[in-house]
Structure 1
C-alpha cells in the first residue's frame, strides 16, 4: 500500500510539473494572439536566459517573452564567453530563414547555375525595376564563375499592382524565365500570358523574414544581407556560409 501511495504521489507531482510546463506556452500564445500577430508561431522554448522564452515565428523571426506572457520584446540576445559575444538571436533567425528558403522548390525560382561544380548558392529577392538589382544582375556571371549558384525570388518592392509586380509576373509566366529575366533587366518588353505564379507568395515571404528592400541576399546558412555588394565580396561571404 505504501509503495502504491508513493507511485500515486509521484504521478501527481509529474502531472503538475507537466501542466506548469505548458503554462508559459499557453500564456505567450494568448498574448501574441491578442496582439494580432500576422505570422504564425513555429515554436516556443526556454531561452538560455532564465525566465525568458524564445518564440520562433514562421519564416525565421525571433521574439522573446516572459513566462506569464506579460512582457514581449524584439531584440538581440547575446551570450558572452571569455569576453567574446555570440549573437544568439541572429543565429536562431538565420537557422529559421535557411530552413524556410531552402525548402522552396527551385522550380519556383529563376536559377543561374554555377560554372562547373556548384560550391554554394545564394537566394536573391529581386525587383526588375530596381537599379541596384540590375547592377548585381550584371555580376551574376562572375558569381557563377566562382562556383556560386544564384537563385532569384520575386520581391516587387512597391507591392502588388506596381510596375515591378507586373514585370516579375511576366518573367515568372515566361517559358524561359532566365532569358525573360535577362531581357527585362535589359529594358526590353516581355510578353507573357497571365498564369498562376508565386510572385505574391514570395513577396509575402520576404516581408516575413525581414526583407524591406532589394536586392536582398540570403546565404545558404540563412544569413540575410541587405542591399547590393560587389560580386567578389558576395562570393567570399557565400563560400564561408556553405
Structure 2
C-alpha cells in the first residue's frame, strides 16, 4: 500500500475509534440519566458526565452537584474536594456549567442604571421585596463605573408582582427602582394600559438560567455571584473580568 494511502487509512481508523468512544460515552450517560430519573422523579437532572475519580459520574442538578456510580445504584450528596489544592471541585464545576452567555441576555427587558462611566457591566435578578436585594442596592451605591441591568424577578409574593409592575411602568424606571430599594419610597401604581408581559418573560428567562434565588449577579464573563456580596468582593469580581 502506498505511504499516502496508509496515512489516510490510519487517520480514518483513529477518527472511527474516537467517534465510537464518544458514542459509547454518550450511551452510558444517557442510560445512567434514564435510570436515575426513573428512580428519583422528583429531581431534574440537567446533565451527567464523568467525574475526576474513576468510576464516578457527576450529576448536575443545576444548583447542586451530586455523584453516582456507573449503575445508578448509589448517589453521593456532598462536595468533591482536591486535598492538594484544597479546591472545591464541585463548586468550580458547577460554576463552569452555569456560566451565562452575557451577550445573549435581553438587556432591553432590564432596568438600566449607569454609575460613573458605566464601563463595567453586571446583570442582577432581583425581587423588590427581597431584603438581600435591598442590601445589594445599598452596596452598589459605593461601586463606581458600572452599568447595572436589573431584571425584575418577582418570585417572593403577589406584592412583588404588583411592585414590579409599578416600577416597570414608571416614567423613570431606574429612579423609581432605586427610590424603593434604597429609600423605601413606594412606587405609584401601574397604569392599567401598561404592558407588563416583560415580567413573565423575565421569570421564564430566570428559570431557564436556573436562577433559584435573589439577588443573583451575573458578571460580563458569564460567572455568577449568588447573594448580597460585599463591595470589596464585587469590586474584585468586576476587576477580574477586565
Same fold (TM over 0.5): yes
**Match of 1:36?**
41
Relative to structure 1, is the Cα distance of residues 16 and 95 closer, same or farther in structure 2, using a 3 angstrom cutoff? closer
Structure 2 gap ranges (5+): 1-12
Q: SS of 1:113's equivalent? A: strand
Match of 2:49 among 28, 45, 48: 45
Cα distance in 1 between the residues matched to 2:136 and 2:24: 52
Equivalences for 1:22-171 in 2 at 5 Å?
Answer: 22-34=26-38, 35-36=40-41, 39=44, 41=46, 43-57=47-61, 61-80=64-83, 83-99=84-100, 103-116=104-117, 118=119, 120-143=120-143, 145=144, 147-159=145-157, 162-171=158-167
Paired residues of 1:54 and 1:62 also in contact (CA < 8 A): yes
Cα distance in 1 between the residues matched to 2:172 and 2:35: 47
CA RMSD of aligned residues (A): 3.5
Alpha-carbon offset, residue 235 of structure 1: 1.8
| C-alpha distance after superposition, 1:86-107 (max 9, x if no partner) | 2222112212332266632211
**Match of 2:6?**
none
What is the number of equivalent residue pairs in this alignment? 220
Cα distance in 1 between the residues matched to 2:211 and 2:24: 32
Q: SS of 2:150's equivalent? A: strand
Q: Normalization by structure 1: what TM-score?
A: 0.71
Q: SS of 1:142's equivalent? A: coil
Paired residues of 1:94 and 1:224 also in contact (CA < 8 A): no
Relative to structure 1, is the Cα distance of residues 38 and 239 closer, same or farther in structure 2, using a 3 angstrom cutoff? same
Paired residues of 2:114 and 2:148 also in contact (CA < 8 A): yes
Q: Normalization by structure 2: what TM-score?
A: 0.71
Paired residues of 1:66 and 1:72 also in contact (CA < 8 A): yes
Relative to structure 1, is the Cα distance of residues 167 and 32 closer, same or farther in structure 2, using a 3 angstrom cutoff? farther
Alpha-carbon offset, residue 30 of structure 1: 0.7
Cα distance in 1 between the residues matched to 2:153 and 2:77: 24
**Match of 2:223?**
222
Paired residues of 1:52 and 1:65 also in contact (CA < 8 A): yes
**Match of 1:6?**
none
